[in-house]
Structure 1
């Protein structure tokens, strides 16, 4: 088992300007596969909600939100039926969405305008707008202290946001940070150039730990307790890591085919992984995280970059799109999922 390394000394966290003792890679970032046409029809219901849908979340209310582009917007819809509720235009496009709490607001990092929006799911109202959020803010997660940590993909490092204001920024750190997972008051950030996982304190606004993980990571999500999952897109795997704040490996889950999107069903202890090269969704039982087991692969829409779970019923939603203009959201009801 690998464990994370401390960055400065043995009892104190590093100062914001501390330089991690790792070799920083500057190489092309990890990206999902460019998927070909599906060879098997996607299961469930497929609905059209906008062009090039990607980031997607579902709240405990059953309201889902998906980011679309050209024109740029966030579409609110019913997670089980696909019925649209509201379309809210945004100044630029978002690739990731996340929930600050299980029922919102939705955190919307806008890569083209360097903003972070917070949106109320019930009525689509923008409740806060933080401007000057780095360069190409990619993903965001709210820690238990209420601080939102945003990955600064174009500029390196992270920013700390609260109540619509940027409180602080830390430089790289990760030269090209991607996905962010909130684990209690920690934010675990994946570097898409292959430099592993970086852990920040939401309250302290400091870099606390770093560890090499996988080959090249992209997405990150929190699981139960002190666990987080990271998609190793170039390495064909998903890593389960304990964040305390040091980083220690719990399991490596095989996921060939450029794994990218991640979602976790806490009630049923299931991890969902999109395999972009295969147009498939891998379903993994993580009841025992160290002995996780693959249940099945399900056929999806083309280019399944993102996935989310409706927490009450367990319904799974997958986004899909291709260069030819076909865009959709796939809704997989619980009756189509493996039993147990």
Structure 2
């Protein structure tokens, strides 16, 4: 059952009324934002609830008990997936050794083109000409053409972990430097830091910029023009992955508490928290059908939620390949692709 939060902005930060504190499972209301009670607590960190925070990991999956729905394509351990709609290409980053597999969406049974990568890809996004992959171990971004598989790399100082486009610029979250780099072409024109423990992914809902910090299990608002990291808001007990929906919200999987969270970006507020048992981890969004697809690694399942109303409504549920850490969707056909992190294939589902 969805619980709603009600917030009231004050000069000192955010005051929470009603059931919001219980909703977030946070013992103090002032722990919701990084600025809310700093003065009262001597400038302490209101978002850190443990002494040594650890980024959430996907729950370990049991052996597959039910045959996966749809069809399964042979592939190595999937680390990231994305669909390039213009070329009708499915991109799958795999490990051991690191490579990019390019599948024609209209003939997925055909052998994929394999493009070796200089390091493991932790994220993958579709761009104008193809795909952009963040390679933290190689300290680089990789641009892969969807047409011919041509590869070029852009060096990044540190460990790039996620990317997002804003106009003709590319934003890059850099995990170890706790920063958001702004790229004009292949040149870093600005680097924004402050307050973050770990910059794990970056998003641009409704023209805003939001960063996911897995160590603090929080989202932060970033002002690119001012070059500042602003307020942070707790994102459950173990924020894992996120996407932006057509309502300019950031949808976040909380892998520790078992929930799907929805945040507005302007202002940054928690709007929905919906319980999702089973270790929610990977997430993809179908903007045409307003469906969020969430993988449940504890159960080897993927669930499709209609997120267009006052609370998510389950529309689909399918058994998956083992350890379904990654998922993507083709908004054109509605097909859902789930990747096994243990190398048991790429599952293709037609709901």
TM-score normalized by structure 1? 0.85
| Structure 1 residues 258 and 178: alpha-carbon distance in aligned structure 2, compared to 1, 3 A threshold | farther
2:345 alignment counterpart: 328
Q: Which of 109, 114, 131 is the matching residue for 1:87?
A: 114
Q: How far did residue 314 of structure 1 move?
A: 0.4
Q: How far did residue 165 of structure 1 move?
A: 1.8
Q: Which of 147, 158, 166 is the matching residue for 1:122?
A: 147
Q: How far did residue 31 of structure 1 move?
A: 0.7
**Which structure's CA Rg is the greater one?**
2
Q: How far did residue 251 of structure 1 move?
A: 1.4
Higher relative contact order (CA 8 A, sep 6+): 1
| Structure 1 residues 266 and 173: alpha-carbon distance in aligned structure 2, compared to 1, 3 A threshold | same
Number of residue pairs the alignment of both structures matches = 315
Q: Distance in 1 between matches of 2:305 and 2:255?
A: 17
Q: Distance in 2 between matches of 1:195 and 1:161?
A: 26
Say if 2:191 is the partner of 1:169.
yes
Q: How far did residue 292 of structure 1 move?
A: 2.0
Q: Distance in 1 between matches of 2:157 and 2:89?
A: 27
| Structure 1 residues 46 and 9: alpha-carbon distance in aligned structure 2, compared to 1, 3 A threshold | closer
RMSD: 2.5
Say if 2:267 is the partner of 1:250.
no
The runs of 5 or more residues in structure 1 that have no matched partner are 11-18
Q: How far did residue 233 of structure 1 move?
A: 1.3
Deviations 1:189-247 (A, max 9, x none): 22212341012245554324322221121211110032111111112111111111x21
Q: How far did residue 104 of structure 1 move?
A: 4.8
1:97 alignment counterpart: 124
Say if 2:178 is the partner of 1:156.
yes
Equivalent pair of 2:84/2:130 in contact (CA under 8 Å): no
1:304 alignment counterpart: 324
Equivalent pair of 2:305/2:315 in contact (CA under 8 Å): yes
Q: Which of 42, 45, 48 is the matching residue for 2:68?
A: 42
| Structure 1 residues 5 and 113: alpha-carbon distance in aligned structure 2, compared to 1, 3 A threshold | farther
2:22 alignment counterpart: none
Match of 2:236, SS state, is coil
Equivalent pair of 2:193/2:228 in contact (CA under 8 Å): no
The runs of 5 or more residues in structure 2 that have no matched partner are 15-33, 39-44
Q: Distance in 2 between matches of 1:254 and 1:111?
A: 32
Q: How does 1:1-340 map to 2 (within 5 A)?
A: 1=5, 3=7, 22-23=45-46, 25=48, 26-49=52-75, 51-60=76-85, 61-82=87-108, 83-100=110-127, 104-126=129-151, 129-134=153-158, 136-143=159-166, 145-202=167-224, 205-244=227-266, 246-288=267-309, 290-322=310-342, 326-333=343-350, 337=351
Q: Distance in 2 between matches of 1:264 and 1:153?
A: 24
Report the more deviating stretch, 206-215 or 259-268.
206-215
| Structure 1 residues 77 and 7: alpha-carbon distance in aligned structure 2, compared to 1, 3 A threshold | farther
Q: How far did residue 4 of structure 1 move?
A: 9.4
**TM superposition outliers: structure 1 runs of 4+ over 3 Å:** 2-10, 19-22, 201-206
Report the more deviating stretch, 216-225 or 183-192.
183-192
1:13 alignment counterpart: none
Q: How far did residue 163 of structure 1 move?
A: 0.8
